[in-house]
Structure 1
Amino acid sequence: MGHKTTYKPYGDSAILIDWNAEISISISNDILGFHKKIKGLKDTNIVDVIIGYSSLTIIFKKRITEYFKEVKNLKEIYNLKDINLKQTPFIWQIPVCYDFEFGKDLHEISNVTNLEISEIINLHSEKLYRVYFIGFLPGFCYLGGLNKRLFVERKPNPRLHVAKGSVAIGGTQTGVYPAESAGGWNIIGKTPVDFFNIHLEHPCFAKAGDFIKFITIDKDEFFQIEKEVKDTSYEISKVLYNA
């Protein structure tokens, strides 16, 4: 703890806490620690705590009538000593096929970045990506750590239909579409893995603070894993992250 934060009302039943507006592991760790402290208190007046890149939104059950008192309470929670708050992040190993059938924008990215297709794939798959938060769609992980050489602006005219499992780049970020949706990110591949399954106890396997490692596979491997995912015999590989 120790980052500068600002507090402000967010509607009549929520408080928004802002850190410096940047994608930072240090800030993310601070946010996750604060989040865990709040959740650990099991305050029945708080119904949700929403994580962002550089923010935390506290949703209260009822309308806030004593705003400054609630802010004071939150600041006291923030300053609590870190006891038993150690995070246990996993590295989730996600298979991705970068074949042109799935990577619809690989050629365009190659033209913009002056990189060979093979370089794009290598640069994208060699990195370890931190899950900063989950939003936009259920199971959509906002990932930090993209190589600067792959920074590509979002498409000026978003597609109306982006296939479930599409792996894409948008500006300084990369991510996986957990369901078919509209979207303006540049598509470079596809994973057969489900990022959101409502039938599971934990519909999204990853959590903020975890890491994603993309593993390159070919089309035959893609369709084999896709089959295993459908018959529920596939299990995503994961290892503990040791900083």
Structure 2
Amino acid sequence: MKNIHEQKWFWPSVIAVLVFSIGYLVNIKEREPSYYVKKEPSKIYDKTSISPTFKLVQNDSVQINENVYVTNFVLWNDGKVEINRDDLRKDIKIIAPEKAKILDFKIVNQFKKDISNFKAELINNEIVINWDYFDPGHGLELQILYSNSSETSLSIIGEVLGNEVKLKEPPTKFKISKHYIALIVIVFILLYNFVVWNQKITENDKKSDVFLTRAGAIGFLIFGIYSLYFLYIKNSSPPF
């Protein structure tokens, strides 16, 4: 009697179960507020290279004696579930390092403004972010002006039900098109078919068992690839 790993259906079934499991794990729905630094801090005012007669003031009265920097952040929902206000455990806000001061900011872009309606308010040297709807894939871009003695960057903090705000790497310029993904899927299925269909079938193998093994394995494979694409690749990039 053959060992179980020598059965013709064993390895195709193992591969199918693994792919199905990956698809299931990717399908887990979470709220995942994320951000990346779209524009690294750049100095727009150098306190050491300006004439002593030149003064930079805030609100027409408060003199700025430090270097001034500008930076851009993109904040978006990289999860699969809407982030409601009731899901907040700690406010999502932009904070400055010690001794730095946020001078001004503006929302330069937001995805589907008529739906999301992101708002921001400067409170105690922190920019607190609010919204009407924070759906998966939705987000905003903020430009912030701040003063500091060094180029130390700002950061975004906060916590929603299940996750804290995460800093992620800037997206690459290369984007995988749907046609390219479709081609990969087709090639993968053809190769898999070739391996499964070229297994030797003996007279003792029931045709119904062989058919069910092949059909089930391919079905799980297609489902796994479908899940990986639509639930991970498609939603893993910021809106801008």
TM norm structure 2: 0.20
Q: Higher helix fraction: Structure 1 or Structure 2?
A: 2
Structure number with the bigger relative contact order (C-alpha 8 A, sep ≥ 6) is 2
TM norm structure 1: 0.20
